[in-house]
Chains A and B, each alone.
Chain A
């Protein structure tokens, strides 16, 4: 049957998609295109508080806030993987990496189908290189996430394999200023190279599978790569005393909409607002924050997908711990800063679907950075 042939090409398709997505992407959600991993641990709240290079993606108006003239110079890299996969580790990986060999035996092919339809496979990588001072920042980045799942009723009730991904790369230039003590504003100009492929391959559709087997370039046609230049504008209002800070952040993301070069896709403009509260001790700081993204509903998402809440605790500027709710899903993370070297782990969840529990992915991310 057609599925047998499909299983034989599955490893190739996965690799092909991963390679293909290095060169493009497209946006389905109001989530940020990149969130710094420690900020992810704090529920993805970024509008009033963001870490390192995450500032330029979060709210450019945060740039003038630090005490030091140089906010961050360095490189950060992270790898994320579906937490269920990470926990069951080798067993799960064997099911996929060995699939080519297994597909040779039809009984084993059935096992692979069971594996594919019993759990999702999600993995990704991020890399950033940035220079940020109090007024100016230059950052280059990439983020690639690939998701493969067997959806039992995915194609109008028919079983289908769904390949989706988010691939972003680009450069950002940010300028920010603080004209008065209680107000700052900033602007980021970004060049994006992106695509968000979302491809269903019905396992019963012999013609479609045949098309893929005969000419994999057909798959490439379905990945709509695009480039575009967009602008984000942010503001921050804050009141500060010795022990408590209160801040209100606003950001217009993709001002006027960011048109992509493929002529079809546009990243819509969104208005985002956040509220932050910080308590200062002698050596520690506790930040509480709440973000509401896409206030105007450009992405037509349900409210739960637009709400982010979190808390960060930094002790002696060395150890950090964070918890939060990312689209209603609990997050937690820890980070250790050792001057030039930083290491952290974040466990978080994302909802890729439209309602809670639809396509929830529980992820773990390990990241490290070199810089100061």
Chain B
């Protein structure tokens, strides 16, 4: 009897669809609109909604974090993939270098729009008052998480910018030196300056340690200028 009751109930429920019938009648706040779009991976819509929310209330600091996540999504950087992927031996998890690890989770051939979106992602978090993105601030519940979020996005910005120039030569299997040579001083500053900024704000933790290690290796690379050192480091990595 139970089986019959269960089957008939589930059949009835399935036939009448479980989707909420209230959707057309509910008015959403800007934050809810943003969150709904973010969940649906409609990052452009999420960016619009959260920008409006911040415009309406510049002290809505939670929206800054969601806006940053929306920009990161627009840039093609999925933090969940990155975090979960580090458990996968054949993806980021098999690699010891932060650049290589994150490199698996940002677009390999990014467009300028994606790089700009990644920049806006970190810049959005940098607009938070410092105490709202301080890893050691226990008075504000979200401060520690916001600090970590900023670390990830800062690192991802450098990585996605590097990816623009790091093209593998199919014949040699290593990075194409000609592509690396197209890197301008401005690009180098965007990459290294950002990593230095990250290194200063994040002296401890996995990301901070990884960045410091990279900066030391770049500094130790042969070359007269920062550009030459970075190109040499990338070419021989």
Contacts and interface: CB of A to CB of B under 8 A. Distances in A.
Contacts of B1: 336, 343
Contacts of B39: 152-153
A364 B9 contact: yes
Contacts of A83: 10, 13, 18
A66 interface: no
A157 B69 CA distance: 5
B9 A355 contact: no
A347 B12 contact: yes
B9 A346 contact: yes
A351 interface: yes
B170 interface: no
B80 A106 contact: no
Nearest to B65: A156
A362 B152 CA distance: 35
Interface string B4-29: 01101110110011111111011110
A156 B69 contact: yes
Contact of A3 (B20, B21, B66, B84): B84
Contacts, number: 171
A334 interface: yes
Given A329-B20, A356-B26, A114 B84 contact: yes
B18 A329 contact: yes
Given A156-B66, A334-B5, A355 B28 contact: yes
Contacts of B80: 113, 117, 152, 159, 203
Interface in A140-176: 152-153, 155-159
Interface band, chain B:
35 or more
B5 to A, nearest CB: 4
B88 A110 contact: yes
A347 B83 contact: no
Contacts of B87: 1, 3-4, 7, 106-107, 109-110, 113
A278 to B, nearest CB: 22
A204 B79 contact: yes
Contacts of B12: 323, 332, 347
A7 B70 CA distance: 26
B182 interface: no
Given A117-B80, A205-B148, A347 B10 contact: yes
B84 A113 contact: yes
A205 B13 contact: no
A114 to B, nearest CB: 7
A333 interface: yes
Interface in A323-354: 323, 325, 327-334, 336, 343-347, 349, 351, 354
Given A3-B84, A356-B26, A343 B5 contact: yes
Nearest to B136: A207
A329 B19 CA distance: 6
Contact of B22 (A208, A328, A333): A328
B88 A106 contact: yes
Contacts of A356: 20, 22-23, 26
B144 A205 contact: yes
Interface in A1-35: 1, 3-4, 7
A153 B66 contact: yes
Nearest to B142: A156
Nearest to B63: A156
A153 B19 CA distance: 22
B69 A334 contact: no
Contacts of B13: 83, 330-332, 347, 362, 364
A303 B26 contact: yes
A315 interface: no
A357 interface: yes
Nearest to B69: A157
Nearest to B64: A156
Interface stretch (B30-38, B105-113, B161-169, B221-229): B30-38
A206 interface: yes
A212 interface: no
Contact of B89 (A3, A106, A202): A106
A358 interface: yes
B86 A366 contact: no
Given A113-B80, A202-B148, A204-B149, 6 more contacts: A106-B88, A156-B142, A157-B66, A203-B83, A205-B144, A334-B8
7 contacts: A157-B65, A158-B145, A202-B148, A207-B144, A330-B17, A334-B5, A362-B18
Interface of A: 1, 3-4, 7, 83, 87, 106-107, 109-110, 113-114, 117, 152-153, 155-159, 202-208, 302-304, 307, 323, 325, 327-334, 336, 343-347, 349, 351, 354-358, 360, 362, 364, 366
Interface of B: 1-2, 5-6, 8-10, 12-13, 16-23, 25-28, 32, 35-36, 38-39, 62, 65-66, 68-70, 72, 79-80, 83-89, 93, 142, 144-146, 148-149, 152, 205-206
